Amino acid sequence: MPGPMGRGAASERAKDFKGTIKKLIAYIAHERVALVVSIACAIASVIFNVLGPRILGQATTELFNGLAAKVMGTGSIDFTKIGYILSMLLCLYVTSALMNLVQGWLMTGLTQRVCYRMRREIIAKVDRMPLSYFETNSVGDVMSRVTNDVDTLGQSLNQSVTQLITSITQIIGVAAMMLSVSPIMAGMTFLTVPVSLVLVVVVVRSSQRYFRRQQSILGMVDGIIEESFSGQSVIKVFNREERAVADFDVQNRNLYESGWRSQFFSGLMQPIMNFVANLAYVAVVIVGAFLAIAGTITLGDIQAFMQYVRNFTQPITQLSQVSNMLQMLSAAAERVFEFLGEPEETPDAATPELPPCRGEVDFEHVRFGYTPNKTIIHDFSCHVEPGQTVAIVGPTGAGKTTLMKLLMRFYDVNAGSITVDGVDLRDYARDDLRANFAMVLQDTWLFTGTIRENIRYGRAGASDEEVEAAARAALADHFIRTLPGGYDFELNEDASNVSQGQRQLLTIARAFIADRPILILDEATSNVDTRTEERIQRAMDALMQGRTSFVIAHRLSTIRNADKILVLRDGDIVESGTHEELLAKNGFYAELYNAQFAEGGEED
């Protein structure tokens, strides 16, 4: 299975920014009411803010005229009028703050609901994905899409939509107010816009590819970390700590390079826009002074205009920041939508009305390959009676586990058919088909939780008494009761606080409580010592009673009592029969058996 490095090439291909934004807009369309109200509140908040400087300018003009009249002895300061103006200003700002609060509350809720929905859809998508996807993609990369990319999308969406709307509204509103104050000074301010836009476009184009690469490399880094944690014992055994660190350093360095470049270009926005704003500010002050001297505008108008200059350049700066956030948003959303758009398992058929499964299985001229140009199973045929135990043996790569994947319909055959009780597997809904199977695998899978919960995983509605009965049947009851808490003993993340043999007995107990008519045992004793193997073998013998059982085993002595042994080589059955019959033939099975006996691995 390729590690996280396997996705490096794909991350460099061209990305569809516009297409991704369109998909995102369509995705959040069901939140249109909250979005529209939030946008309306944001616009109202900006409008009230934009009116503020002009009203404050009126208060300043009134105060200045009153002082001038008082000095000339022709009048006095009208504090009542000034108080009325300031009261109006306070009401505007309070209303603006309330509108801003409402839009923030609505937008935060919207983005969190979108993230919640995305995570749910990703997890639901995982359940619909074919097994081939998980065998060819990094776990860490998928985890990064669920965590990092969705979080980045949520944060960027929350900030970018609000800032985009408020910035555009503020630019339009401030421009209108500046024109109403002084078209001359407004024109001078507007001259800075093309300069700002050119600089923004240059910076955005430079930063875009680094933001996209940063998100992709982050998935690779997560994959390496996940693999290092899960394979820590192997890394230490082979003294590969330095190599593991070196492999991580390569991607960590790439992440550092992309990260600092993207953040550097993003950080250029603020100083560049401040520089342009300061140039406009200086020009407005100089021209405004001459206009005031000429009596064209009042002192309050100059004060208001100076505030408008700041308010005009500020949203341009925000728009430049929004452009960066939109790049991050697009990169993250594209990775999420890419995963959600991955091919799923072929649609299920509607399972016909059938009597309870008896366990009769037929393989008829089965042909299969994971890739079109490499066939693994060439022409496999076999009939299995209900309740029979069929052992499948052969060298590594012969196709033993592949046959079981086909039987469970993790993959569909390329040619031929597999039937259960005379019904083609493709005519079953997958859930209905797999409800007839229980599995005990070489790699024991137990989740963090109590032993009782792990056994009950085989049948969710099982009572505590049934759980304990299954454990007794699997010969696991004794060791469970010796643990602190017994059946309530908490297994850790990898169930490493119990032995390998004990983990295997727990999976057998899980299969017992599932009570399915067909059983698959895939090298279930290959990772344990001989004494533990004997105990597990006794538990499996009890489990196989009355069930159609398929047993894959390398230790051939464990399948001597099988009703039928199929010997596979290069995807074909080369021999079949009982243990004694195959030894008597002195063929390939006898060769495998004698090789194990010669190595001291088996006893007759």
* CATH number of the domain to which 257 belongs: 1.20.1560.10
Please check whether residues 149 and 246 belong to one and the same domain.
yes
Lowest mean pLDDT segment, chosen from 221-230, 253-262, 341-350, 498-507: 221-230
Q: Quote the pLDDT of residue 488.
A: 92
Q: From CA 551, how far away is CA 440, in angstroms rounded?
A: 10
Average pLDDT over residues 75-88: 78
Please check whether residues 336 and 376 belong to one and the same domain.
no
Lowest mean pLDDT segment, chosen from 84-88, 104-108, 319-323, 367-371: 319-323
Q: Any idea which residue has 């009401």 for tokens?
A: 91
Last residue of a domain, one of 298, 313, 340: 340
Q: From CA 272, how far away is CA 287, in angstroms rounded?
A: 23
On whether residue 513 sits in a domain, the answer given is no
Indicate if the pLDDT at residue 524 is higher than 80. no
* CATH number of the domain to which 413 belongs: 3.40.50.300
Give pLDDT tens digits for 543-595. Answer: 788 889 888 877 776 787 888 888 888 778 888 888 888 888 888 888 888 87
Say if CB 476 and CB 540 are below 8 A apart: no
Indicate if the pLDDT at residue 396 is higher than 80. no
Please check whether residues 286 and 368 belong to one and the same domain.
no
Indicate if the pLDDT at residue 1 is higher than 50. no
On whether residue 230 sits in a domain, the answer given is yes
pLDDT classification of 532: cutoffs 50, 70, 90: low
Indicate if the pLDDT at residue 538 is higher than 70. yes
Count: domains in the chain: 2
Q: Any idea which residue has 């400087």 for tokens?
A: 53
Indicate if the pLDDT at residue 17 is higher than 80. no
On whether residue 588 sits in a domain, the answer given is yes
Give me the helices (H) in 182-240, please.
183-190, 192-230, 232-237
Please check whether residues 63 and 23 belong to one and the same domain.
yes
Indicate if the pLDDT at residue 440 is higher than 70. yes
Average pLDDT over residues 332-340: 87
pLDDT classification of 237: cutoffs 50, 70, 90: low
Taking the model in full, what pTM does it have?
Answer: 0.64
Please check whether residues 165 and 194 belong to one and the same domain.
yes
Lowest mean pLDDT segment, chosen from 180-189, 267-276, 321-330, 358-367: 267-276
Please check whether residues 367 and 330 belong to one and the same domain.
no
Please check whether residues 368 and 310 belong to one and the same domain.
no
Query: 520: which strand partners?
Result: 439, 550
Say if CB 359 and CB 548 are below 8 A apart: yes
Domain that holds residue 293: 18-340
Average pLDDT over residues 25-51: 87
The 8-class DSSP code of residue 532 comes to H
pLDDT classification of 69: cutoffs 50, 70, 90: low
On whether residue 346 sits in a domain, the answer given is no
Please check whether residues 170 and 279 belong to one and the same domain.
yes
On whether residue 426 sits in a domain, the answer given is yes
pLDDT classification of 6: cutoffs 50, 70, 90: very low
- Pairwise pLDDT comparison (339 vs 52), residue with the higher score: 339
Indicate if the pLDDT at residue 98 is higher than 90. yes
Please check whether residues 336 and 362 belong to one and the same domain.
no
Residue among 1, 299, 20, 289 at smallest CA distance from 149: 20
On whether residue 502 sits in a domain, the answer given is no
Lowest mean pLDDT segment, chosen from 148-152, 227-231, 338-342: 227-231
Q: From CA 302, how far away is CA 496, in angstroms rounded?
A: 74
Q: From CA 576, how far away is CA 561, in angstroms rounded?
A: 14
Last residue of a domain, one of 340, 375, 404: 340
Average pLDDT over residues 226-236: 72
Average pLDDT over residues 337-365: 84
Q: From CA 507, how far away is CA 522, in angstroms rounded?
A: 12
Q: Quote the pLDDT of residue 438.
A: 86
- Pairwise pLDDT comparison (324 vs 460), residue with the higher score: 460
Lowest mean pLDDT segment, chosen from 72-86, 157-171, 332-346: 72-86
Residue among 601, 570, 571, 595 at smallest CA distance from 583: 595
Please check whether residues 335 and 361 belong to one and the same domain.
no
Q: From CA 597, how far away is CA 406, in angstroms rounded?
A: 32
Q: Any idea which residue has 């043999």 for tokens?
A: 501
The 8-class DSSP code of residue 371 comes to B
Last residue of a domain, one of 284, 310, 340: 340
Q: Quote the pLDDT of residue 5.
A: 34
Give me the helices (H) in 129-149, please.
131-136, 139-144
Indicate if the pLDDT at residue 12 is higher than 70. no
Amino acid at 245: V
Please check whether residues 60 and 100 belong to one and the same domain.
yes
Average pLDDT over residues 418-445: 86
pLDDT classification of 9: cutoffs 50, 70, 90: very low
Average pLDDT over residues 13-25: 73
On whether residue 483 sits in a domain, the answer given is no
487 CB-near residues (< 8 Å, 6+ apart) = 450, 451, 452, 455, 464, 467, 468, 471, 480
Indicate if the pLDDT at residue 14 is higher than 70. no
Q: From CA 441, how far away is CA 508, in angstroms rounded?
A: 9
Q: From CA 136, how far away is CA 42, in angstroms rounded?
A: 46
By CB neighbour count within 10 A (0-12 exposed, 13-18 middle, 19+ buried), where does 586 fall?
A: exposed
Q: Is 14 helix (H, G, I), strand (E, B) or coil?
A: coil
Q: Is 6 helix (H, G, I), strand (E, B) or coil?
A: helix
- Rounded to the nearest 10 degrees, the angle between the axes of helix 79-128 and helix 32-72 is 160
Please check whether residues 285 and 418 belong to one and the same domain.
no
Q: What angle do CA 264, 143, 460 make, to 5 degrees?
A: 155
Q: What angle do CA 83, 89, 91 make, to 5 degrees?
A: 105
Q: Quote the pLDDT of residue 10.
A: 33
Mean pLDDT over each residue of the chain, to the nearest integer:
80
64 CB-near residues (< 8 Å, 6+ apart) = 298, 299, 300
On whether residue 150 sits in a domain, the answer given is yes
Q: From CA 463, how far away is CA 456, in angstroms rounded?
A: 8
Share of the chain above pLDDT 90, in %: 6
